[in-house]
Amino acid sequence: MNIKMINKKFNLEKKIILAELILVIGFLVYLFFSFSPKQISPLNGAVIIEPNFVFEIENGQEVLLSVYENFDEYVVLDENSEVTLAPGTYYWKVRNDFVESEIRTFTIQSHVGLNIEEGEKLNKLVNSGNVDLEVEKKTGSKVTGLILGVNEIKEVEKDNSTYEGSQYE
Amino acid sequence: MNKKILLVCFLGLFLLANVQNALALGITPGRTTINFEPGLHQEVSFSIINSGHKDMSVVFMIRGEMNESVTLNQLYAEFNASEESKSFTYAVDLPQRIETPGKHEIEIVAVEMPKDLEEIGMVVGATLSVVTQLYIYVPYPNKYVEADVNVVESGGEITFLIPVVSRGKLDIVNMEAKIDVYSWSDEKVTSLVSNSDSLLSLERKELVAKWKPEVAPGKYKAVVNVVYDEDVSTIEKEFNVGEMFLEIRELVVKDFQLGEIAKFSALVENKWSNDLKDVYLNIIVYNNEGETMADFKSPTYDIGSLSQEEMIAYWDTGGVHKGTYDGKLILRYGEKATERNIQLKISDDKIEIIGITGNVVVRGSKFNLTNILLIGVGVLIAVNIVWFVIIRKLLKKR
């Protein structure tokens, strides 16, 4: 076997190793992007006024939630977690066993919501917002007050009363 | 006379229409906060949420000690049923000086009215109004902080988030929160200390403390002392550890004869460290077509914290045939309920209940994302090695 042939064989082997390397790296890059954790909702910069919302994620196991952009302190949420968050701005990311997603932010904006639903004998006063309410009831010249928690329902008389809801505390 | 009848009919119809339609109104944000600056002019926006999705009018009013500082750009608005929300603004014009430091509150009130109010002329029935508050904070001349505490439970860990706002003209050199946690019987459970930080005048920062509770589920109270330089601000907050939980330990029917009244006796355990009031048992039995054959309830019981109680419910089995029936056992307490699917095997002198103590084990798939990736990488490496060895051998042969 002359030197020219040895060189040719060596070059071919080099090319094969290079091709193999490209293939492996390409596959790993594909896996990295395909299986990297993704945030679906809430959208980045979303303003949330609903009393209940869910984190929708893909390829992730946990949501990291923080009031700090640098995640100095954070809360870890898994699939079964249920938390009550006060109005404010929050930062969140998703992680799986390998990597974390980018950081996104959302704001919970206080929403004062009051509903009166018709009941059989009594009406139902419902706090449909995302903050506790101080409700003032005016019936003629009589004024009374009550506190209504988020999603809380209280039965009230069917009358001509005026109900005024404002954010409590 | 005819006019009177017409008026009564008209009012009756309107009342009926008003009662049938639920009232719903929302406003966001519920509160806007502004730090006082001499002569400040600011436009503030807010939205009215037509959560009832109906035609309506909204009338706006301004209230409060400094109401002359606020000008609404619109005093009245109309909504169609298809309009989810509408945005509005008001202008804030602050004076050059406010004497009293602290919080000054102005309220913008939105009152729901029928859309055709001008035609009707009056409102009969309940009315709703919602308020968006404007808080104007005039800084105190010294060091002054306001704090709140939000308790978040996740993954068996409690996080105390303590937003602290400086309302004084002087900076805070150092602040930290000392938290004492008390049980419902006022016994101190633990003491925690948050991170420490500095705080500039009018700045807001969050202090954080974490606690892994090793206590019975129940209601607890946090007394938070935010120590800032030489002063202290104290706040209290009630919070829950774990979930309110009742367990049905046993459900039996003793001394039963078909056609007579069956006495269902349930042994229920309160695993919550607070008393639970007005707990009751609801048993539903379905026939073979899946229709409700019986629906009976126990009286209400008060169950002491971490204790057991026997609850009794009666079912008249007159007309019921022997056989196996599906059913549901519901234990209701407050807004919560524990539900179990059960089966009742009814014979002449016995009701056997299946499904109370049986456990359902859900076996999770081992093929999670990590395993798929590891298998994928492993297969790829193996295929490449084989491919590489074969090609090398072929080359050698040549």
Specify whether A76 is located in the same domain as A95.
yes
The 10s digit of each residue's pLDDT in B69-102 is 999 998 989 999 899 899 999 999 999 999 899 9
- Nearest-Cα residue of chain A relative to residue B206: A67
Specify whether A48 is located in the same domain as A95.
yes
Percent of chain B surpassing pLDDT 90: 46
- Nearest-Cα residue of chain B relative to residue A161: B126
Residue B112 pLDDT > 60, yes or no? yes
Residue B302 pLDDT > 50, yes or no? yes
Range of the domain at A20: 1-34
Residues in chain A with CB shorter than 8 Å from the CB of B195 are 72-73
Three-state helix/strand/coil letters over chain B:
CHHHHHHHHHHHHHHHHHHHCCEEEEEECCEEEEECCCCCEEEEEEEEECCCCCCEEEEEEEEECCHHHEEECCCEEEECCCCCEEEEEEEEECCCCCCCCEEEEEEEEEEEECCCHHHHCCCCCCEEEEEEEEEEEECECCCCEEECCEEEEECCEEEEEEEEEECECCCEEEEEEEEEEEECCCCEEEEEECCCEEECCCCEEEEEEEECCCCCCEEEEEEEEEEECCEEEEEEEEEEECCCCEEEEEEEECCCCCCCEEEEEEEEEECCCCCEEEEEEEEEEECCCCCEEEEEECCCEEECCCCEEEEEEEEECCCCCCEEEEEEEEEEECCEEEEEEEEEEECCCCEEEECCCCCCCCCCCCCCHHHHHHHHHHHHHHHHHHHHHHHHHHHHHC
> How confident is the model at residue B12, as a pLDDT?
36
> How confident is the model at residue A65, as a pLDDT?
92
State the average pLDDT for chain B: 84
CATH 2.60.40.10 domain locations along chain B = 22-138, 246-354
The 10s digit of each residue's pLDDT in B149-198 is 988 888 788 999 999 999 999 999 999 999 999 988 889 999 999 999 99
Q: Domain B246-354's class?
A: mainly beta
Provide the 8-state DSSP code for A23.
H
Which residues of chain A fall below pLDDT 70? 1
> How confident is the model at residue B70, as a pLDDT?
94
Residue B16 pLDDT > 50, yes or no? no
Residue B375 pLDDT > 60, yes or no? yes
Q: Domain B22-138's class?
A: mainly beta
> How confident is the model at residue B232, as a pLDDT?
94
User: What's A55's domain CATH number?
Assistant: 2.60.40
Percent of chain A surpassing pLDDT 70: 99
CA dihedral B387, B389, B395, B397 (to 10 degrees): -120
Specify whether A28 is located in the same domain as A56.
no
Specify whether A46 is located in the same domain as A88.
yes
Q: Which of residues 79-118 of B touch A (CB under 8 A)?
A: 107, 109
Say which of A75, A86, A128 has its CB closest to residue B24. A128
Residue B20 pLDDT > 80, yes or no? no
Residue B107 pLDDT > 90, yes or no? yes
Residues in chain B with CB shorter than 8 Å from the CB of A85 are 150, 152
Nearest chain B Cα distance for residue A50, angstroms: 10
User: Is the domain covering B145-241 a CATH 3.40.1010.10 domain?
Assistant: no
Tell me whether residues B30 and A13 touch, CB distance under 8 A.
Answer: no
Strands B150-154 and B157-166, bridge-based pairing: antiparallel
Tell me whether residues A76 and B155 touch, CB distance under 8 A.
Answer: yes
Mean pLDDT of B52-59: 89
Percent of chain B surpassing pLDDT 70: 87
Specify whether A103 is located in the same domain as A76.
yes
Q: Give the model's confidence band at B122: pLDDT under 50 very low, under 70 low, under 90 confident, else very high.
A: low
Say which of A12, A77, A158 has its CB closest to residue B154. A77
**Are the C-beta atoms of residues B154 and A84 closer than 8 Å to each other?**
no
Total structural domains in chain A?
A: 3
Specify whether A8 is located in the same domain as A56.
no
Residue B376 pLDDT > 80, yes or no? no
Q: Which of residues 128-147 of B touch A (CB under 8 A)?
A: 128-133
Taking the whole predicted model, whether its pTM rises above 0.90 is answered as: no
Which of A107-111, B20-24, B60-64 has the weakest average pLDDT? B20-24
CATH 2.60.40.2360 domain locations along chain B = 145-241
> How confident is the model at residue B364, as a pLDDT?
33
Q: Is A112 on the interface with B (CB under 8 A)?
A: yes
Residue B359 pLDDT > 50, yes or no? no
Residue B245 or residue B304, greater confidence? B304
Tell me whether residues A116 and B23 touch, CB distance under 8 A.
Answer: yes
> How confident is the model at residue B13, as a pLDDT?
36
Which of A112-116, A148-152, B3-7, B311-315 has the weakest average pLDDT? B3-7
Q: Is B374 on the interface with A (CB under 8 A)?
A: no
Residue B118 or residue B269, greater confidence? B269
Residue B15 pLDDT > 50, yes or no? no
Tell me whether residues B373 and A35 touch, CB distance under 8 A.
Answer: yes
Tell me whether residues B128 and A165 touch, CB distance under 8 A.
Answer: yes
> How confident is the model at residue B357, as a pLDDT?
45
Specify whether A104 is located in the same domain as A121.
no
Specify whether A98 is located in the same domain as A151.
no
> How confident is the model at residue B118, as a pLDDT?
63
Question: Which of the residues A133, A164, A168, A169 would you substitute to probe the B interface, choosing the one with the greatest number of B C-beta atoms within 10 Å?
Answer: A164
